[in-house]
Structure 1
Amino acid sequence: MQPPRCCLLLVLLYLFLLSGTWATLQGTFTIRMLKTFTFQNTSFVDTEGIGLLEDIELGSLDKHTWDMHFCQPWVRPALPRIQWDTIDNMFKIFLHNFIHLINEGAIQMDVPYPFVAQSMAGCKLYPNKTSRIFVYVGYNGQDFLSLDTDNATWTLSQDTDLARYVRAFLQNETTFVEAVKDLFNDTCINAMEMFLSYGRAALERQELPVATVFARTPSPHQLLLVCHVTAFYPRPISVAWLRDGQEVPPGPQLNTSPILPNADLTYQLSSVLAVAPQDGHSYACRVRHRSLGTRSLLVPWGNSHLLLITGLLAGLLAAGALAALLLLCLCRRR
């Protein structure tokens, strides 16, 4: 049986051979290979896996056959069929050996079933053409082990018998660690070139944000202004509230949700600002996003105009009252 280090090495190598033209694209790019293993007992393991370029799903793993299913039409043409066949074979060998290793450790360390093991491996490429590789292993949803590529060592994320057992096994595979470092340090950028060229349209996709501002009144003494922004892509976005044209600083009155995915592969979020009813200020939600270029999307709260008009009317009434009072005083003197 082929040792796990060879299988994992070839899997990661071919993963990064799914590449395209990074030189003409700007920014940092990351490929991640995510795998989840649910160990029901020593003889049954439910396996799931996906590959991602940034947030674009490249492919998924069939849990029954361990075959790869491509999620983008441009992924398969990136490599010849013979190379995809090699990837498929090596990936299945790696899965088999990984499961065997974890089961062996669980039995020796008397780990109770069921449990879940996860792994994430990948590479991050920076605009200056430097790169960083990463390998993380998880156990039951908690950090378990990570690979320190600078020192070629495995680091414990939790101090358990099982973690020490797996680390000892992997730490003895120094050839594997060095080979992974050399592989990604020497070839990661060049391999990425082809993949980024095939997926360039997907990576450069931009969708304009749609922002809506409305109010809620949870109590007579509190007004919540809600700025809901949706349908934007890519994920990075800046949403801020402006009070009389000045940005509201972070504080307990400001609450912004995490960025959440939509079903159409765009994103959404909400920013909520708590204010006192009829405080006399004008409010607007400002959105900045790559699709807007240098412009900003500015959506005022509808009642801000009403408050402004009310303030102007109050000022006019006060001025009128003062003029009437002065006129009355003059009349009395005459």
Structure 2
Amino acid sequence: MLFLQLVLFVVLLPGGGSEDDFQETITFRIILTTSFYNHSWTQNQGSAWLDELQTHGWDNKTGAFSYLQPWSKGNFSNEELMEVEKLFYTYSIRSPSIYHNHVTEWQLEYPFQVQLVLGCDSHFGEASVGFMRIAYQGSDLVSFQNTSWWPSPEGGSRAQQVCTLFNQYHVSSEIVHKLLTDSCPRFLLGLLDAGKAYLQRQVRPQAWLSTGPSPGPGRLLLVCHVSGFYPKPMGVMWMRGEQEQRGTQRGDVLPHADGTWYLRVTLDVEAKKAAGLSCRVRHRSLGGQDIILYWGHHLSVYLILLAVTVPLLLLIVLALWFKKRCSYEDIP
């Protein structure tokens, strides 16, 4: 019964989705991590993610879900969501006993972590059969395929023993199969529809150039910054004319708090060869009109601003001095 409860709450756990019109594959994942510190002390952390966007949090003390997006409930009713919360909380309290009771048999060593990942993929608006995997200490242990649990090749004898136990619950396996092939994909498509406006939005990037720390004598580290764009796929390359520069180094795409993204792309070049280089930015929101920033042009703009600003400031200072002097001369 315990494993059956695990199955029910995990598959029904609500998640978030996105429309596939702008991305070939969208992956929705539910992650539950249980940390085993000793035989009497465990801690659970749960969340749900749409690719890299977190759609749900979970309070392990009250068992309540937090809906991080306005559309995170999808098309589930409040009654369904409350039932899922109860199942999830029940599992989080009772499931650790499965591993505690088999510490010796499965050669588990405190402290350790067990992570369950369940999810669905959506390809161009069509949801695929769901998946369920369990990992031990960050390494794959077992996965559910078709109607039964299968050991991971890297799981060794421990994975074989876990499968032997889990596959004894035939009714549970049938429920897992049904929920992964029906409930999870159906719920994902409901979320994709509920979050369509948000997930299909397009936000134009802002781009600018700068220099980074000097790589060495006579060299420059050119930096192309691209910020505030959505969706995530972004093409940035340092160019000379129409030729891509092979030394281009792409950083990680980092999230902003508002759901948009930031990317930093660098190029290490000889200072004397920097002239004529440009940074090309390609993104869906630009409608085919790439942003091209030429190295040296931004410096020219700064020089122009200085050339205009400095004389203007001098004139203002001179005028104030002259006015002040005249006021003194008018005093009898």
Band of TM-score, shorter chain: 0.7 to 0.9
- In the alignment, the residues of structure 1 paired with residue 69 and residue 127 of structure 2 have an alpha-carbon distance, to the nearest angstrom, of 27
Residue 152 of structure 2: which of 136, 149, 156 is its match?
156
Residue 189 of structure 2: which of 164, 188, 193 is its match?
193
Residue 56 of structure 2: which of 55, 59, 66 is its match?
59
Residue 75 of structure 1: which of 54, 72, 77 is its match?
72
Q: 1:116 to 1:188 in 2, by over 3 A?
A: closer
Q: 1:31 to 1:269 in 2, by over 3 A?
A: same
- In the alignment, the residues of structure 1 paired with residue 200 and residue 125 of structure 2 have an alpha-carbon distance, to the nearest angstrom, of 19
1:13 to partner: Cα distance? 3.3
Q: 1:153 to 1:40 in 2, by over 3 A?
A: closer
1:160 to partner: Cα distance? 4.7
Q: 1:148 to 1:65 in 2, by over 3 A?
A: closer
Give the secondary-structure state (helix, strand or coil) at the position aligned to 2:271.
Answer: coil
* 1:137-216 alignment, distance < 5 Å: 137-140=134-137, 142-147=138-143, 149-150=145-146, 152-216=148-212
- In the alignment, the residues of structure 2 paired with residue 19 and residue 159 of structure 1 have an alpha-carbon distance, to the nearest angstrom, of 31
**5+ residue gaps, structure 1:** 307-334
For residue 13 of structure 1, what is the aligned residue in structure 2?
12
Residue 244 of structure 1: which of 227, 231, 241 is its match?
241
Q: 1:260 to 1:305 in 2, by over 3 A?
A: closer
More moved, 116-125 vs 290-299: 290-299
Instruction: Give the counterpart letter for 2:12 in structure 1.
Output: L
Number of residue-to-residue matches in the alignment: 299
Give the secondary-structure state (helix, strand or coil) at the position aligned to 2:102.
Answer: helix
1:50 to partner: Cα distance? 0.6
8 Å Cα contact 1:105/1:162 also seen in 2: no
8 Å Cα contact 2:115/2:134 also seen in 1: yes
Residue 219 of structure 2: which of 218, 222, 240 is its match?
222
Instruction: Give the counterpart letter for 2:273 in structure 1.
Output: D
**5+ residue gaps, structure 2:** 301-332
Normalised by the length of structure 1, the TM-score is 0.78
Q: CA RMSD in A?
A: 2.9
Residue 31 (1) aligns with residue 28 (2): yes
- In the alignment, the residues of structure 2 paired with residue 293 and residue 111 of structure 1 have an alpha-carbon distance, to the nearest angstrom, of 54
- In the alignment, the residues of structure 1 paired with residue 284 and residue 82 of structure 2 have an alpha-carbon distance, to the nearest angstrom, of 38
For residue 262 of structure 2, what is the aligned residue in structure 1?
268
Residue 46 (1) aligns with residue 40 (2): no
1:295-333 deviation digits (Å, cap 9, x = unpaired): 212111126998xxxxxxxxxxxxxxxxxxxxxxxxxxx
8 Å Cα contact 2:75/2:194 also seen in 1: yes
Residue 257 (1) aligns with residue 254 (2): no
- In the alignment, the residues of structure 2 paired with residue 173 and residue 136 of structure 1 have an alpha-carbon distance, to the nearest angstrom, of 17
Q: 1:167 to 1:256 in 2, by over 3 A?
A: same
For residue 325 of structure 1, what is the aligned residue in structure 2?
none
For residue 122 of structure 1, what is the aligned residue in structure 2?
119
Residue 301 of structure 1: which of 295, 306, 313 is its match?
295
Normalised by the length of structure 2, the TM-score is 0.78
- In the alignment, the residues of structure 2 paired with residue 106 and residue 42 of structure 1 have an alpha-carbon distance, to the nearest angstrom, of 9
1:32 to partner: Cα distance? 0.8
1:284 to partner: Cα distance? 1.0
1:24 to partner: Cα distance? 7.6
Percent identity over the alignment? 27
Instruction: Give the counterpart letter for 1:165 in structure 2.
Output: Q
